[in-house]
Amino acid sequence: MTATQTATRTIELEGDPAQSAAAPFVGRAMPRVEDAALLTGVARYADDLPVKPGTLHAAILRSPHAHADLLGIDTAAALTVPGVAAVVTGADAKRLASAFLVGIRAPMEHWCLAIDRVRHVGEPVAVVLADSRYQAEDALDRIEVRYRPLPPVTSITQALEEGSEPLHPAVGSNLVNSRSFRYGNPEAAFARAARTVSVEVEYPRNSCTPMECFVVLADYDAAEDSYEVLSNFSGPFAVHPVMARALNVPGSRLRLKTPPHSGGSFGNKQAVFPYVVLMGLCARVAGRPVKWVEDRLEHLMAATSATARRMRIDAAVEPDGRVLALRMEQTEDCGAYLRAPEPASLYRNHGNLTGAYDIPDLAVTNRIVVTNKTPTGLNRGFGGGQLYYGLERLMNRVAAELGLDPLDIIRRNLVAAEAMPYRTASGGTLDSGDYRATLEQAVREGALDALKARRDALRAEGRLYGIGYAAVVEPSISNMGYITTVLTAEERRKAGPKNGAQATASVAVDPTGGVSVTVASAPQGQGHRTVLAQVVADVFGLRFEDIRVNTDLDTGKDAWSIASGNYSSRFAGAVAGAAQVAATRLRGRMAALVAGQLNCRADDVRFAAGKVFSDANPDNSLSFSRVAAAGHWAPGMLPDGQEAALRETAFWTPEPLKAPTDADHINSSACYGFIFDFCGVEIDRTTGALRIDRYVTMHDAGRLLNPLLVEGQILGGFAHAVGTALYEEYAYGDDGRFLSGTFADYLVPTACEVPVPVILHRESPSPVTPLGAKGVGEGNCMSTPVCLANAVADALSGIAVDEVPSLPITPAKLAALIHPPEPPRPASTAGSGENPPPITTPAGRGLTGEGSREVPATPEQVWAILLDPMELAALLPGCEALELVGPNAYRAEVVVGIGPVRGRYTAEVALSDLDPPNALTLTGSGTSALGSGSGTGHVTLERTPTGTRVTYRYGASVGGKVAAVGGRMLDSASRLLIGQFFEKLVARAGGAAAPAERPSLLARLLRLLGVAR
Amino acid sequence: MPPLNSTSPLTAETRHAVSIVLNGTPRTGHAHPRLLLSDFLRHELGAHGTRVGCEHGVCGACTVRIDGVAARACLMLAVQADGRRIDTVEGLAQANEGRMTALQEAFRRHHALQCGFCTAGILMSLTDYLGRNPKPTEEELRDMLSGHLCRCTGYAGIVRAVMDVTGRTMKEAAHV
Amino acid sequence: MKPASFDYLRPATVADALAALAAGGEDARVIAGGQSLMPMLNMRLVQPRLLIDLGRLEELRMLRAEDGWLTVGAAVTQAEVLARPTLAQEVPLLAAALPWVGHFQTRNRGTLCGSVAHADPSAETPLCLIATGGEVVLRNLRRRRTVAAADFFLGPLTTVKAVDEIVECVRFPLARPGSGHAFREQSMRHGDFAITACAATVDGQSASLAVGGVADRPALRSWPLVAGGLPPDLDEALNAFAWDLGGDDDQHATARYRRDLVRRIGRTVLEEALSCRR
């Protein structure tokens, strides 16, 4: 076991490797070889690489609607914009590309451009290709798209409703997949258990949002019918065949390269793949190379998201807190399309559904729904945050209901060390670790007793302080077959087996003795080059700086497999292991080469300190470079049958990764680390603000290859988890509008919000991986949100039993629990202040409202106003022109704006359901460069003794850019604009004058404008 | 080219000469009035060490020094920078005889970067800030750093690195 | 995310700028620090034909305390005001609130006048201007006029400034002896928009509270001191104020939460201001 480290104690750095050349590099805190380029600005990210002359720059027109039929696209005006070379639409995609493969058997088509329907805000609809990005964006505003909005599906609940509008009509339902699993005898366990404890939780949409957005450079070679693309794609390369199929070429004709540096991924850059296809298509249509750089608005709105999940878990519990069985229902929101590799989020943890606990009986129902939201994909913690949010809230609930200490519930149920390797109910193999001892070490070294004393002291002062716990297993190195658990055994038999997790690494020694390592791990900033140099230097007995590592990938030349890439924490276990295997094999070949010269058997040749010698006679040594030169210049020295080239490529796959069994048992990952966290939080009684007072995170990730980098991974994962727990959410309105479109709306924690956790380690080497290492980067995204939530539940224990607001846990949500009911509005002040009275907020969050007004005119007179185009023009806010285009159908030019911001909308307005003079329906919709707006108003006219009672109900929807970047203001702004229409109607019909217009609340939606005051 | 200080505006359709002193070296490029300084530096002058992360002034990746003062290059037009001294990350080591500065070395030692995309902006903010406040407290430092988003490090290594070069120690992790 | 096309003018004098602004009408915009306008340009929410840069006009760089006022010109940055050594004595509320404006990097270019002209309902500078009883000096080609802060803000992003006017400077009254001041705000993250911001001033006669982030513009209310202390019915008064401010729900906070903060933080800052009178 290595020394305990905390993030605050400086790790002993290995500044001068030469000083301790004898000690292995693996296990040492080596600073990174990557850093010099990154710190001096010479690093080359995708957007820094040169482009070919004549390259066109792409800008993407995106749907402002959550759900709409796509009726037509007119690109004529856009093509006249200076600098524009081409506009690509879904028609081009249909002609030259194919729909993406889908991971389940259901008739759902997902194309790189919308074909006849848009299914989420931000879905690509057309691409402008121009000489510069600026010019391409100029032309976006000139493309005219006709949509017919459809009812949006914006929640899991709604997706499960019978009548919800199916996103994919051929599927017929928004519940696109459902599978039930039964392991052991859960029914019997529930029958015999003393009680059943349940939780129901929802996990929100969010993502780890790397600082660098997507980049694609694409070129098409018509002579060879082949595509060459450079992109900051992160893998998994299982998606490469998906891309190639969508481009209608074999994989050999889609040469995909990755740049030398990438600005982070955390899984997210997997989701660039539809754009690889889209830009390949664009290059083909335009006949010129194409470059696309995603901007932040595009990224937040439409790149990717973690899945939202609803989870209900029942536990069969004994009086002492022992859990005998679990019954789980998971419903996963995958967004508008099941984009590869989904539904992986739901199945990634299938082998470890029971977490770190010895729970033999398990029943699971997994449902997948589609909603009108951005498709989901890889995101740090992939499925683990969702699973453990339910599981660890459940364990906390067991303690609360039994009146026991939550820590004792965890202790009582942990898998015992003697049981390792432990086979879980659902087929996972927990490979190593002593979970109980690890927990006790954390309790001791993390000073839990002192934390409890602090809680008691602060509570005595009346403060809201709580302690939370979480224990999880962190899976790493995904089994490429786990996703097929979504299929039935019969379907799997038809599809052919899927299993394993092949990692590749090539090691080459050049004639000067230089050593090159090439891997297909597509690093995104973790420091793979450093670790690989450590591993290979040890194998050859060379200096750290003698090893040169290349991590940029070219699928046309390099060794890769479908499992390649940067995901499922597979680097330390699989890729570094493969490099060691390759280097060791190559060393064996070099040993054979020189054994004769050294007068020993190849097995006795040693490599150390840059020398090659016989174990028996170290003084008679050759330099490593001399041996390398001989391998190149004198291959004839090799014994018969030995290959000459000093290059070795290893493919390594973990032995325990089999395909799912017919009983649906699946070992979904090769390794399982263990994490035990506890924390103390305080909630401010005045503001509801939560402060993380202390956080202790204990990791057993097997053998640590570089403690400095391991600590960096834990700190980074922890920061993401703090964001998930307290700040970040991709929020949508009930009408599907997207609300988190800027970094002022999507709240990434800053240095002021992320505390430094205490990090503790224990090392139980994995028996599965060559180096004994397991993954470590994702664990806190699994453990920390729920640990904080459990601490909140503890802090609020004087107010409610085990109650936690939904994630993210914001001050406003906490205040709603802490604060007493709001004092009523004093009657005397209404409208008397210097400020106007507040607008009454209608119930719910949708853009809906209603009103009623008595006017001194007959229903016939009111009816006449509504049917008169001149009058209608006067009623519509900002209407500059109104043109009759059909029976009771108009086209209106409307300018809606405030201050410097103006949006010119060409609106379609129609009157329908005419029942003169009693009722009608007024609909309007329009799109501008700022986004879309639509509304439906039902008006009824009721004769009264003195005139007419005009009653109206309306529903409205605002989408696109203006909603995404100013979402907070939309409710009131839309209410006001629509309210204005009806107030004017009433006024026109001779009713009380419409109240003086306040400065338009539309302006409020522009509050974003001060994002960087 | 028309003088930039003029009663007649620079026209939208024309690329105008823009001269700056980039890391001590006079450089001239051409820009339409709407071209952002970030794009001018990266794609016109080839100084791509400055990164672009949000283009709405929140993430801080594009922070450069304008006449010594740290500011967002995405919230400034290239034509506004005409005649100014612009310092970017490339200039740090250049001004230090080609070696990384003590701050850069501390970033390396303390693993204050992973993907490195936010790093250039943070370094440029720090060089301005530490010039004004050479020994910030951890709280002051974190306040300044809140103008930068980093998704990799959790900021711990960054704070540690700065505390190291300024000769201060970081407070222990939120301890009991 | 790139701006639409515009002409760019860097005028040599304020008069040149005003002439261009008068000629440009609705299609012209002025820019100084650009920390509010540039994001709007980048997102194409605003598409002027002409951009007039005030940033280098020496005439607009006045920063001085005289005749009972601190005058801050249109080209003076938030950082420059914050660095003024005497600020805490001159306008203590501004000294307390400016660190909450954006971040170090945006304060380096952002101006006070720009923030006032922008009129974000949750911005700190307009709040301080209202709270202290400051004024806004507007100028067009023909005249200069001074508007009390209380009359300047009409609503979100909406002020009495005419299309052909610029905010030439803003003026904060210097703190009177014997007055106390306090500022607090609650936001989601450090440097974010205030969910609720409260600025209190207490002098010998009265206590006043200005609130930003709740209504569609910053708002001020005053109460006479009772026996040298805060009014005994302060809770009721704050409740009435909170309800009058109203507030809206958004994805981060509810209207009710905003009102709750007015009641709670409002009391806190009033008590702090009372206790720190000097």
C215 inside 8 A of chain A by CB: yes
The CATH number assigned to the domain holding A754 equals 3.30.365.10
CB within 8 Å: B33 and C39: no
Q: Which residues of A touch B34 (CB under 8 A)?
A: 134
- CA dihedral in degrees (A15, A16, A20, A26; nearest 10)? 50
Closest C-alpha to A750, from C257, B145, B31: B145
Q: Which residues of C touch B79 (CB under 8 A)?
A: 8, 10
Locus of tokens 């010895």: A358
ipTM reported for the complex surpasses 0.90: yes
Spatial distance between the Cα atoms of A777 and C79, rounded to a whole number of angstroms? 39
3-state secondary structure A926-945: EEECCEEEEEEEEEEEEEEC
> Among partner residues A6, A211, A451, which is closest to B149 by beta-carbon distance?
A211
Domain spans in chain C, listed from the N-terminal domain onward: 7-52, 62-173, 181-275
Asked if residue A838 belongs to a domain, the reply is no
C145 inside 8 A of chain B by CB: no
Q: Identify whether residues A806 and A896 lie together within a single domain.
A: no
Buried b / exposed e along A369-399 (16+ C-beta atoms within 10 A): bbbbbbbbbbbbbbbbbbbbbbbbbbbbbbb
| CB proximity under 8 Å: B 83-122 to A | 88-90, 92-93, 100, 104, 107-111, 113-120
DSSP H or E run through A491: helix A489-495
A520 inside 8 A of chain C by CB: no
Q: How many CB pairs under 8 A join B and C?
A: 116
Which residues, including other chains, have CB under 8 Å from residue A979's CB and lie 6 or more apart?
A849, A851
Conformational region of residue A386, where left means phi above 0, alpha means psi within -120 to 50, and beta covers everything else: alpha
Q: Which residues of B touch C47 (CB under 8 A)?
A: none
β-bridge partners, A940: A919, A951
Tell me which of A756, A760, A778 to substitute to probe the interface with B (most B C-beta atoms closer than 10 Å): A756
Within 13 Å and on the Cβ side, how many CA atoms surround A92? 22
Contact indicator for C221, C269 with CB cutoff of 8 Å: no
Within 13 Å and on the Cβ side, how many CA atoms surround A654? 37
pLDDT at A844: 35
pLDDT at A6: 42
A34 inside 8 A of chain B by CB: yes
> Per-residue pLDDT for B172 more than 70?
no
Asked if residue A261 belongs to a domain, the reply is yes
Contact indicator for A229, A276 with CB cutoff of 8 Å: yes
Using DSSP, state whether A225 is helix, strand or coil. Answer: coil
Buried b / exposed e along C58-80 (16+ C-beta atoms within 10 A): eebbebebeeebbbbbbbbbbbb
Residue A356 — φ and ψ, nearest 5°?
A: -90, 15
Conformational region of residue A310, where left means phi above 0, alpha means psi within -120 to 50, and beta covers everything else: beta
Tell me which of C13, C98, C103 to substitute to probe the interface with B (most B C-beta atoms closer than 10 Å): C103
What's the DSSP call for residue A917?
T
C16 inside 8 A of chain B by CB: yes
Q: Identify whether residues A110 and A242 lie together within a single domain.
A: yes
Which residues, including other chains, have CB under 8 Å from residue A284's CB and lie 6 or more apart?
A96, A220, A222, A227
Buried b / exposed e along C138-153 (16+ C-beta atoms within 10 A): bbbeeeeeebebeebb
- For chain A, 1013 residues long, the average pLDDT of each consecutive 10-residue run is 39 52 88 97 97 97 95 98 98 98 91 98 98 98 92 97 95 96 98 98 98 98 98 97 98 98 97 98 98 98 98 98 98 97 97 98 98 98 98 98 98 98 98 98 98 98 98 97 95 92 96 96 96 98 96 96 95 97 95 91 95 94 94 78 81 92 97 98 97 98 97 98 98 90 96 98 97 97 98 96 96 96 81 36 51 85 88 84 89 78 82 93 84 84 91 79 69 64 78 43 38 35
Using DSSP, state whether C174 is helix, strand or coil. Answer: coil
- Which one is the CATH code of C181-275: 3.40.50.300, 3.40.50.80, 3.30.390.50, 3.40.50.880? 3.30.390.50
> Among partner residues C1, C16, C39, which is closest to B75 by beta-carbon distance?
C39
pLDDT at A665: 97
Strand-by-strand arrangement of the A515-519 sheet: A547-550, A515-519, A503-509, A647-652
> Among partner residues C38, C189, C254, which is closest to A747 by beta-carbon distance?
C189
CB within 8 Å: B10 and C12: no
pLDDT at A644: 63
Q: Between C174 and A5, whose confidence is greater?
A: C174
Question: How many structural domains is chain A composed of?
Answer: 4
Q: pLDDT digits over C176-204, tens only?
A: 999 999 999 999 998 888 999 999 999 99
Asked if residue A491 belongs to a domain, the reply is no
Using DSSP, state whether A602 is helix, strand or coil. Answer: helix
Spatial distance between the Cα atoms of C20 and C28, rounded to a whole number of angstroms? 8
Q: How far is C175 from chain A (nearest CA, A)?
A: 25
- CA dihedral in degrees (A320, A323, A327, A331; nearest 10)? 100
Spatial distance between the Cα atoms of C133 and C151, rounded to a whole number of angstroms? 10
Tokens of residue A39, six digits? 């710190």
Assigned superfamily of B16-93: Beta-grasp domain (3.10.20.30)
> Per-residue pLDDT for B52 more than 80?
yes
Q: Please say which residue of A268, A302, A336 terminates a domain.
A: A302
Asked if residue A23 belongs to a domain, the reply is no
Which residues, including other chains, have CB under 8 Å from residue A861's CB and lie 6 or more apart?
A948, A989
A138 inside 8 A of chain C by CB: yes
Spatial distance between the Cα atoms of B49 and B41, rounded to a whole number of angstroms? 9
Tokens of residue B64, six digits? 């450069």
Q: pLDDT digits over C215-239, tens only?
A: 889 999 999 999 999 999 999 999 9
Contact indicator for C215, A835 with CB cutoff of 8 Å: yes
Asked if residue A462 belongs to a domain, the reply is yes
Asked if residue A201 belongs to a domain, the reply is no
pLDDT at A847: 63
Q: Identify whether residues A336 and A347 lie together within a single domain.
A: yes
Q: Identify whether residues A298 and A309 lie together within a single domain.
A: no
Q: Identify whether residues A676 and A750 lie together within a single domain.
A: yes
Q: How far is B25 from chain A (nearest CA, A)?
A: 17
Asked if residue A825 belongs to a domain, the reply is no
DSSP H or E run through A246: helix A239-246
Residues of chain B with CATH 3.10.20.30: 16-93
Spatial distance between the Cα atoms of A237 and A219, rounded to a whole number of angstroms? 20
Least confident interval from A335-349, A884-898, C18-32, C110-124: A884-898
Tell me which of A39, A131, A294, A297 to substitute to probe the interface with B (most B C-beta atoms closer than 10 Å): A39
> Among partner residues A8, A742, A754, which is closest to B155 by beta-carbon distance?
A754
Residues of chain B with CATH 1.10.150.120: 97-165
CB within 8 Å: A1012 and C110: yes
Indicate the residue type of A941: L
The CATH number assigned to the domain holding A276 equals 3.90.1170.50
Tokens of residue A509, six digits? 């020694």
Asked if residue A512 belongs to a domain, the reply is yes
Indicate the residue type of A563: A
Spatial distance between the Cα atoms of B62 and C49, rounded to a whole number of angstroms? 26
User: Peptide bond preceding A917: is omega within 30 degrees of 0, i.e. cis?
Assistant: yes
Q: Which residues of B touch A677 (CB under 8 A)?
A: none
Q: Does domain C62-173 have CATH number 3.30.465.10?
A: yes
Tell me which of B8, B62, B77, B132 to substitute to probe the interface with C (most C C-beta atoms closer than 10 Å): B77
CB within 8 Å: B7 and C11: yes
Q: Domain limits at A942?
A: 847-1010
- Which one is the CATH code of B97-165: 3.40.50.1000, 1.10.150.120, 1.10.3720.10, 3.20.20.70? 1.10.150.120
Q: Does domain C7-52 have CATH number 3.30.43.10?
A: yes
> Which pLDDT band, with edges at 50, 70 and 90, does B173 fall under?
very low
CB within 8 Å: A38 and B90: no
Q: Identify whether residues A353 and A241 lie together within a single domain.
A: no
Complete DSSP assignment for A4-31? P--TTSPPPP---GGGGTTS-STTS-PP
